Amino acid sequence: MPDQDKHFFLTILLTDKYLQSSLVSNNGQGVQIQEFSKIANYFDRQDLSDQLDKSLQQLGEDSNEVSETVFAFDQTWLENGELSADKKAVIKDVSEKLSLDAVGQFSIPEALAEARLIGDENDSCLLMIFKENIFDLVFLKHGQFIDLITVGRSGDVVADFSEILARAAKHLDQDDGKYFPSKILLTSIALSKKELDSLHSQLAKVDWTTNPGFTQAPDIVALEADYMIKSVSLSAGKIFSKESLLAKMPKKQPIATTPHQQIEQKPLVSNIKKVEEASEENDYAIEKPSASSFGIKFDQNYHKNNNESSDNKVSSEDIAAPVAKPTKKRSPFGRFYLYHQKMILLGFGAGLLALILAFTAFALLFSKVRIVITPEETLLHKNVTITLDPNIETSDFEEALLKASVQNKEISGQDVLATTGIGLVGDKAKGRVIIYNKTSQEVELKQGTIVSTNDIEFLLDETIKVPASVVKQDGSGVDFGKFETNVTAKDIGSEANFNKDTKFRVADYFEDKFSAISADNFSGGSSREVRVVAQIDQDRLMENLTKKLSQEAAKEYETDSKDGVYLVPTGKVKVNKSEFSAKIGDETESITLSLTVNVEAVKYLSKDLKSLGLALLEKDLPAGYVFMDEDPSLMSDKAQAASDSSKIKLTADLSAKAVAKIDLNSLKPQILGKPWIGAEESLENSAEIRQAQVIFNPPFLINVLRNLPNDQNRVILELNK
């Protein structure tokens, strides 16, 4: 039972798609929220009743004793400041179904504005209420409601907010009134916390000081998810006070320095009003507005004024005790009846009709007897290894061989691997040598002829002819034939950079035939180690990518295995196309392989597998028995591919139930006219029958009749399957 010293009521927040409820108490000194539900989504009027009922159930058992309800509606539910006709019908229907007593209602912007001013009667803020496709802006300044502006959401929240600031700028005036509030608050019942935080992040990144309405960067805050239901509940508490706190607040004054600069202020709706004081034809009207606050302490006494010297202080005498009127309890039984009234009446009528029909049927068929026979049954079980072979012509059930088919799947992909080979790169040394011919004949040396020293070889850059040696005229000696030419080192490396006058051997000639000497210093030779493609790199990359593509194909085959069709990879993979980004020995840090492979699988059907299983179990079927089900139970291990072929092997546990065959027509003549107890025993003594049950219709005849009817049309035999 709720605390008798407190006045309890329900608050319901409603938009076109979302709802939330709370259980609130008001002891005349302050408002406390006892419980509030989760935000719920609904689709139509019927779903609204269902979801709201579930929402109220989340408020605990105490809420069942409470019927007085304050509704807060979406602003779009209003027409000319009143609840639209179709929405009135919705609220009336919901209230009747859920046994709710609507004692007050207002718009959501009004409720949030009211809550702001309850927390701080001089509050200034821009409060943005986001919905699915639009958002409302409540403009409060110095405790006064300035405007309510609605714009559509374009997907660019910065552009949308800039547009709404442009509309609100008409209220900015000279001196103290020419700037927007520095507090911007974001709230929503329709958006998730993640979506609201995203909007906050987008707005917070903008330098709003470029707007003349801001003197400093505004403080932008995304409010908690339960802010709206708490604010609405806080505002709803004022309905149970003798007079609205707004009546004690300063009237709206234009923010201007001269009379012609007065601001046109737009009311939300009208002051909150109790439903019982409204006219009968306007039971669901919504009255005018208020305002609201960031950082409200929802459990504080909102009637207390922290400024003791304020002229607007509300004394305890101004606050009435909770409205003392008889309250009806929201009975779960009454609510269930109202909510399911049509279904209950329909069920009662259908039950009455069924009772009449049943009585008529019993009157016509009371003398008939049903005998339900349960045949004996046995369970057959066998463990067997089944081979799926796509190479055989037909299945061989005797050998547990099942005909299968081969499927192929082409799949492509790329992979990259770092190279591991080490290679040398660099430049070859060059220089000029003087070759001496010590023979008496001119000798031609071909391009590429080797001259060497210290096992380092150089090659002639061109074909040359070295003159023969000649005897000096005075007979004092011989002048060797000579020729100066360019040579290039055979290999790269700095070790080929020799100094001038280095001696060289020419080809395979001995020193007494040919010799050579460097005409100047050799230079240009250099070398360094680099990463190159090795054979092992290509092999490893091919192996890794082939395995990866095979696994992808196996997953696709597994996905394709459905509706009684199974595909099992055989492990056979054929490379259709491969292309490496570099050849063996090429200098590169990594190598890429583009590969297309063909992955083979065996396809078989579940129905074929079960047919084979049934045939294998049939060998153990006792005489006079038949299978109860054409599909035996089959539990198998994961299929395994044979390594040397496309065959697939799987181990399976087969089981199936079999029942004794019973000829009902031959049994009936044996029991007609006999005592029904003896007939039961006679039938149950048969090896094929487990149980026989005699059923009289109507049942009370079992205490009247001792024998079964002689008329075979009045005795019905049936199998209990």
Q: What's the pLDDT score for residue 366?
A: 55
Strand runs labelled E in 455-546: 456-460, 464-466, 470-471, 478-479, 481-492, 503-506, 514-518, 526-532
Q: What's the pLDDT score for residue 416?
A: 94
Gap between the Cα atoms of 271 and 287, Å rounded:
5
> Residue ranges of the alpha helices (H) in 127-253?
157-168, 193-204, 227-236
CA end-to-end distance (rounded Å), the chain: 54
Largest CA distance in the chain: 166
Apex CA 467: angle with CA 461 and CA 469, to 5°?
A: 135
Nearest to 601 by CA among 550, 542, 546: 550
- The 3-state DSSP class for residue 272 equals coil
Q: What's the pLDDT score for residue 637?
A: 63
Packing angle, helices 157-168 and 193-204, rounded to 10:
70
CA 34 to chain centre: 34
Q: What's the pLDDT score for residue 325?
A: 44
Gap between the Cα atoms of 170 and 192, Å rounded:
32
Buried/exposed 269-281: b ≥16 CB within 10 Å, e otherwise: bbbbbebeebeee
Contact 87, 107 (CB under 8 A): no
516: which strand partners?
A: 435, 504
User: How would you classify the pairing of strands 421-437 and 481-492?
Assistant: antiparallel
Gap between the Cα atoms of 675 and 681, Å rounded:
10
pTM: 0.41
Burial class from Cβ neighbours inside 10 Å (0-12, 13-18, 19+) for residue 400 reads middle
Q: What's the pLDDT score for residue 537?
A: 92
φ/ψ of 575, rounded to 5, equals: -80, 120
Q: What is the mean pLDDT of each run of 10 residues along the chain (721 residues)?
A: 73 93 83 90 86 90 87 87 86 90 88 89 92 90 90 89 90 71 93 90 92 90 92 83 38 34 39 40 37 33 35 34 47 58 75 70 61 89 86 86 90 94 88 93 93 94 93 84 94 92 93 93 90 93 94 91 87 92 91 94 86 86 84 70 71 86 87 85 86 80 76 85 68
The encoded tokens of residue 499 equal 């100094």
The residue whose two tokens read 């009684």 is: 564
Gap between the Cα atoms of 623 and 320, Å rounded:
92
Buried/exposed 402-427: b ≥16 CB within 10 Å, e otherwise: bbbeebebebeeebebebebeeeebe
- The 3-state DSSP class for residue 139 equals strand
Q: What's the pLDDT score for residue 635?
A: 74
The encoded tokens of residue 497 equal 């950079």
Q: What's the pLDDT score for residue 262?
A: 34
What residue ranges define each of the domains in the chain, with the CATH number in brackets?
Answer: 424-528 (2.40.30)
- One DSSP character per residue, 368-382 reads EEEEEEEE-EEEEEE
